[in-house]
Amino acid sequence: MGLFRFIFSKTFLIQVVLAIVVLFILAFLAMQWLDFTTNQDQRIEVPDLAKMNLDDVEGRLDELELRYEILDSANFNPDFPRYSVIEQVPAPGKFVKEERKIYLTLNPSGYRKVEIPNNLIRKTRRQVEPTLRSLGFEIGNITYKPDIAEDAVLELRHKGAEVKAGDELMKTSKIDLILGDGSGRYRIQEEDTLNIDETTATDEF
């Protein structure tokens, strides 16, 4: 009966109450320490960095105590300045803690170069145009010159200079096509030249 009497004694009840109070105080202090060390109540809104250069990005993020890391460059976008931010993670408007790293994708300095493929000469216009467009080129002027093959590609030119297989041009470059007109004049001219040569040779004998 002594134990039962002690459990319900005033001294024991006071000790239990004190223990509960101490537990609550320790729990409260632990939560305050976690909030302080993890910045649970700190919320920094991520700014919109689109079209900003790195100098401006660094200054803006320093003000907010945020950091950044540059990812690989994306495909060139003419709507954004060169070397400016084209994408960011986290997105603008998101809330983060201080020292959070913002991942940036930059716009490159220009379009990448693309190699002119083989076997385009003497192919038809219908075959060549889709091939060039699929590589990112644009079709420029279409001109014709005497040749037996109608719409056959005789030459590729860029800014007046002839372009050959293996040459590299910037993506979106305009390529002019010189096609055969199908008149057959090239063959006729060759035949006329042969006839003249044969006539000359006969006269000499």
Give me the CATH number covering residue 183: 3.30.10.20
The boundaries of the domain holding residue 48 are: 44-106
Domain for residue 180, yes or no?
yes
Q: Which residue has the higher pLDDT, 70 or 39?
A: 70
| Residue range 163-185: mean pLDDT, rounded | 91
The answer to whether residue 120 is domain-embedded is yes
| 61 lies in some domain | yes
Mean pLDDT lowest for which of 36-45, 114-123, 154-163, 178-187?
36-45
42-98 pLDDT, tens per residue? 689 999 999 999 999 999 999 999 999 998 767 888 899 988 999 999 999 999 988
Q: For the chain, state the CA radius of gyration.
A: 39
Question: Residue 140 pLDDT > 60, yes or no?
Answer: yes
- In the chain, how many domains are there? 2
pLDDT band of 38, cuts 50, 70, 90: low
pLDDT in tens, 94-131: 999 888 999 999 998 888 889 999 999 999 999 999 99
What separation in angstroms does the CA of 64 have from each of 7, 25, 42, 53? 58, 34, 12, 17
